[in-house]
Amino acid sequence: MNQTENQQPTVADLQRSFIYHLHHTLVKDKFSATKSDLYLALAYAVRDLLADRWLETQQSYYKNDAKRVYYISMEFLMGRTLGNALINLGVMEEWDTALKELGLTIEELQESEWDAGLGNGGLGRLAACFLDSLATMQLPAYGYGIRYEYGMFYQKIVDNGQHEVPDNWLRYQNPWEFDRQEHLHPIRYGGRVVDYTDRDGSLRHSWVDYYEVMALAYDVPIPGYRNSTVNTLRLWSAKASRDFDLNFFNQGNYVGSVESKMKTENISKVLYPADHMLEGKELRLRQEYFLSSATVQDIFYRFAKKFDDLKKLPDQVAIQLNDTHPVLSIPELLRILMDEKKLTWDEAWAITVNTFAYTNHTILQEALETWPVPMLGALLPRHLQIIFEINRRFLDEVAVRFPDDPQRLQRMSIIDERGDKLVRMAHLAIVASHSINGVSALHSTILKEDLFRDFYELWPERFNNKTNGITQRRWLRHCNPWLSDLISEAIGDRWTVDLDELQKLRPLAEDSEFRKRWMAIKRMNKERLARYIYQRNCVDVSPDMLFDCQTKRIHEYKRQLLNILQVIARYNRLKEYPGLELPPRTVIFAGKAAPSYTMAKLIIKLINHVGMVVNNDPAVHQQLKVLFLANYSVSLAERIFPAADLSEQISTAGTEASGTGNMKYALNGALTIGTLDGANIEIMEEVGEENIFIFGLTTPQAVTLRAAGYRPHDYYYRLPELKQVLDQISSGYFSPGNPGLFRPLVDNLLSTDYYLLLADFDAYLDAQADVDRLYMIPDEWARKSILNTAGMGKFSSDRTIGEYARDIWQIKPQPVVRGEARHW
Ligand SMILES: *Cc1c(COP(=O)(O)O)cnc(C)c1O
């Protein structure tokens, strides 16, 4: 072991490394370097600090035969890496000094880093938070995903509406990825299945006439917080197979071979930008199999280096499916075990069920994945055969448990046969997993009692809850350094690895000096956001105003429209009663709509139109501002959360599986106005009912109301303010040049209103009035703000991952001792 290697680098070491990379990796000097070059030089220097830890972590897992968990996800919404790496490595201050001496600042350089936006929203960000917790808790884990060439689109606001621009995130160098040319797996599509009898007389199946695409690995380092663990996120990129190309060359079809090469490489070209909505495109199914097959092959390869008894697989491997997107991993594992490793069905099945676990993320019908049987059969004929066989055996089992109940068989079948035949991916996941979990207490209850009730009756022991969490390293320590420093000064810094420590802030809520400092930091964060808003939106907002934020994907169930209805009602009140004593508010929206989601795009447009009218009306002067911040992403979120006073979490009860934005806001001291939905309920339990603004229907009330024949019109006639708002929107008050523009939104509310906006409108206004009253008493607001942060211990993703590791994966920490497992 080399003594000097374990010492933290000095400021001079860091400067040398930075300049070395500027000169030798980028071949630039201080005169020719752009901002981006300076960022890259810093990134390469920081990357060097990860290298030894990364190698040693992998050596230690290998040497100790650690059981690994594989987290398979179509999305990883990582955001920027640099700032997080500096914090986790514990070298932020040293780098700060080193760069200042060179006349540079980290804050400025990190703005040059482009977000890694390989995800839509909550589901992908959860995967990213989990990776941080897994590494911090020293758990032997790998993330597996797709290296999309184009991540989540970049959102511009043009003519008040959303305009999508491709996210060409790899245009510049990506210093955080390493291509691993040797980790290459063939992925097969198409062809047909030939049955034959082998020498032992068993019926076997062979997949023939398929074509191949290669999956090439790119590795991304995932450093733990202040430990020596660096885990791996492995992302697959599609490459045309060489055999495939040669065939074409032999036929002399040069251009044809290049065309087909391009077609196959399309598989990893772009992330599908629909959140909570199934697009049903064949390319998406190809992507899902591409990820599933490459990952399962990689898992076999790693297992086979140490073991040959496949029955040991579940002792060495746990696979977590992040929603049903990677569920083809199940028939893929069975196919390899049976067709390639020649195991029997029963042997292969036992291994599979003991290896897989499935997380459900939504109960929205339009988001539940189903694939047409003919499409799946044409793309993956052997897998369809395996799925049919799983289903046949499964339905036999159900028929024995519940005799004479054909309805139940139909409901539970993996194949939906009511119309054109569809494969129900969630049913496949449930039947082949030993654990099925929801992501909040309410959501897990709905799974058991409603969506998957039949399955719960069959296998109650498989169902469990794992309430989501967020990593406090990124969502407090990194994004809110001022508040982090105040907290650490008051209670020490153990909260960074044990968020329950925040409870120690509770008594400080009663300390007026502490409250003053707490709110002074909130104000500085608001000033910072106000400057950003001025630069981007050219609207002047005062940090004295209440910053009221709703930032998340735009979706009808999340009810941004209910928020804007309330804003219009407020505007009308201010106009009608000019002396009205209301605290001034800035209402901030941000979020992307799926490009094909017409209603969601119209809601974005309405928000911007309302902003135009309100922000330019001298009658409401500095009392109300409405803003839409373009391109909601991890880096924009990191600016908004620390500056928020109020967090809007107003989904219809029973629709938001958990939410994690709600946790990030409360952790940064925002108060929540919200419904009894998802994790809001658990946030209320933790921070206390008196420290949160809860309103609206409960889940059972929403169900009952719909069942009783909900009539939105009744509310329209009963509530004069609501009628005024809806009439204004539909008559073109906010779109004088195009009066009918927003009529579809109102028509929808008055006819169907599936998400019960009108039913909750009155209660929402009352809750907003409570918010206004409290904000007028700054000391009381400050108290509750502190108590919100203090109550957030439960919502660390460290707690969530601890529960997965203990209850589902049965994996243990494998601490990495630097220098111990060291080989060249
Ligand atoms: C946390 C987060 C989300 C999820 O927000 P919800 O309010 O839970 O829907 C989405 N996008 C980004 C960029 C996030 O950071």
Does residue 633 line the site of ligand 1, with CB under 6 A? yes
Residue 60 is predicted with a pLDDT of: 95
> What is the C-alpha to C-alpha distance for residues 751 and 746, in angstroms, rounded to an integer?
8
* Confidence band of 181 (pLDDT split at 50, 70, 90): confident
Q: Name the nearest CA neighbour of 269 among 234, 238, 233, 235.
A: 238
Task: Kindly give the distance from the C-alpha atom of residue 632 to the centroid of ligand 1, in angstroms, as a whole number.
Answer: 9
Residue 3: per-residue pLDDT: 35
Query: Based on the number of CB atoms within 10 Å of its own CB, is 658 exposed (0-12), middle (13-18) or buried (19 or more)?
Result: buried
**Annotation marks residue 664 as catalytic:** yes
Identify the CA nearest to 109 among candidates 90, 92, 88: 92
723-756 pLDDT, tens digit per residue, is: 999 999 999 999 999 999 999 999 999 999 999 9
The answer to whether the CB of 121 is under 6 A from ligand 1 is yes
Half-sphere exposure of 674 (CA within 13 A, CB side): 33
Ligand 1 nearest-atom number relative to CA 551:
7
Name the percent of the chain lying above pLDDT 70.
97
Which spans in 102-152 are helix H? 106-110, 122-136
DSSP 422-479: EEEHHHHHHHT-SEEEESSHHHHHHIIIIITHHHHHH-GGGEEE----B-HIIIIIIT
3-state secondary structure of 344: coil
Q: Kind and range of the H or E element at 207?
A: strand 203-208
Given the residues 147, 361, 477, 592, select the one marked as catalytic. 361
Residue partners of 126: CB distance under 8 A and separation at least 6:
322, 439, 468, 660, 797
As a whole number, the mean pLDDT across the chain is 96
Asked if residue 246 has pLDDT above 90, the reply is: no
CB 351 within 8 A of CB 337: yes
Average pLDDT over residues 281-290: 97
Substitution candidate for ligand 1 out of 77, 556, 641 with most atoms within 8 A of CB:
77
User: How far apart are alpha carbons 42 and 45 in whole angstroms?
Assistant: 5
Is 553 known to be catalytic?
yes
Domain boundaries, the chain: 1-63+84-114, 64-80+115-467+806-822, 545-795
* CA nearest ligand 1 atom 6, residue: 661
Q: Where are the beta strands (DSSP E) in 52-153?
A: 68-72, 76-79, 116-118, 141-146
- Given strand 646-649, what is the order of strands in its sheet? 624-629, 585-590, 546-551, 646-649, 671-674, 693-694
Would you place residue 305 in the very low, low, confident or very high pLDDT band (cuts 50, 70, 90)? very high
pLDDT at position 819, please? 77
- Do residues 59 and 823 touch, judged by C-beta distance below 8 A? yes
> 820 or 88, which is more confident?
88
- How far is CA 460 from its chain centroid? 28
Decide whether any atom of ligand 1 lies within 6 Å of the 660 Cβ: yes
Distance, CA of 339 to CA of 612 (rounded, Å): 63
CATH architecture of 545-795: 3-Layer(aba) Sandwich (3.40)
Pocket test for ligand 1, best of 480, 658, 660 (most atoms within 8 A of CB): 660
Over residues 666-717, the pLDDT tens digits come to: 999 999 999 999 999 999 999 999 999 999 999 999 999 999 999 999 999 9
Q: Which of 123, 552, 555, 667 to mutate to test the pocket of ligand 1 (most atoms within 8 A of CB)?
A: 552
Residue range 514-535: mean pLDDT, rounded: 98
Lowest-confidence range among 239-248, 550-559, 714-723?
239-248
8 Å CB contact between 410 and 438: no
Q: Is there an atom of ligand 1 within 6 Å of 637 CB?
A: yes
Q: What percent of the chain has pLDDT over 90?
A: 93
| 3-class state of residue 68 by DSSP | strand
In this predicted structure, the answer to whether residue 131 has a pLDDT above a threshold of 70 is: yes
Distance CA 550, CA 569 (A): 17
What's the confidence (pLDDT) of residue 252? 66
Structure tokens at 223: 């450093």
Q: How far apart are CA 798 and CA 92, in angstroms?
A: 22
Which 3 state secondary structure label does DSSP give 196?
strand
What are 83-117's pLDDT values in tens digits? 999 999 999 999 999 999 999 999 999 999 999 99
The bridge status of strand 356-359 relative to strand 317-322 is parallel
**Is-catalytic flag, 558?**
yes
* 657: pLDDT strictly greater than 90: yes
Q: Tell me the DSSP string of 709-773.
A: T--HHHHHHH-HHHHHHHHHHHHTTT-TTSTTTTHHHHHHHHHT-TT-HHHHHHHHHHHHHHHHH
The answer, yes or no, to whether any atom of ligand 1 lies below 6 A from the CB of 659, is yes
- Count Cβ atoms below 10 Å from residue 637 Cβ, excluding itself: 22
| pLDDT at 491 (0 to 100) | 98
* Of residues 659, 698, 689, the one with CA closest to residue 671: 689
Tell me the chain's radius of gyration from C-alpha atoms.
28
E strand or H helix at 96: helix 92-101
Average pLDDT of the residues in 476-482:
98
Q: What is the pLDDT of residue 2?
A: 38
Does residue 508 register a pLDDT over 60? yes
Residue 478 pLDDT > 80, yes or no?
Answer: yes
Predicted confidence at residue 552, as pLDDT, reads: 98
CA–centroid distance, 811 to ligand 1, in Å, is 28
Distance CA 142, CA 54 (A): 12
- Copy the structure tokens of residue 365: 């019908």
pLDDT band at 7; cut points 50, 70, 90: low
Distance CA 298, CA 471 (A): 28
Please give the distance of CA 478 from its chain centroid, rounded to a whole number.
Answer: 18
Q: How far is the CA of 155 from the centre of ligand 1 (A)?
A: 15
Please state the rounded mean pLDDT for residues 627-639. 98
User: Residues 434-451: pLDDT tens digits?
Assistant: 999 999 999 999 999 999
pLDDT value for 219: 98
Q: Catalytic pick from 551, 660, 789, 800? A: 660
201 pLDDT tier (thresholds 50, 70, 90): confident
Q: Does residue 661 have its Cβ closer than 6 Å to ligand 1?
A: yes
User: Can you tell me the distance from the alpha carbon of 165 to that of 161, in angstroms, rounded to the nearest whole number?
Assistant: 13
DSSP letter, residue 150: B
Please check the confidence at residue 5 and state whether its pLDDT lies above 50: no
Q: Is the CB of 634 under 6 A from ligand 1?
A: yes
pLDDT at position 28 is 98
Beta carbons of 423 and 370 less than 8 angstroms apart:
yes
pLDDT single digits (tens) 750-762: 999 999 999 999 9
pLDDT at 261 over 90: no
User: Is the pLDDT confidence value at 248 over 60?
Assistant: no
Q: Catalytic: which of 125, 552, 601, 784?
A: 552
Q: Is the pLDDT of residue 4 over 60?
A: no
Asked if 661 and 646 touch (Cβ cutoff 8 Å), the reply is: no
**Two tokens at 822?**
């060291």
Rounded Cα gap, residues 537 and 551, in angstroms: 16
Q: Can you give the pLDDT at residue 820? A: 63
- Write down the architecture of domain 64-80+115-467+806-822 according to CATH: 3-Layer(aba) Sandwich (3.40)
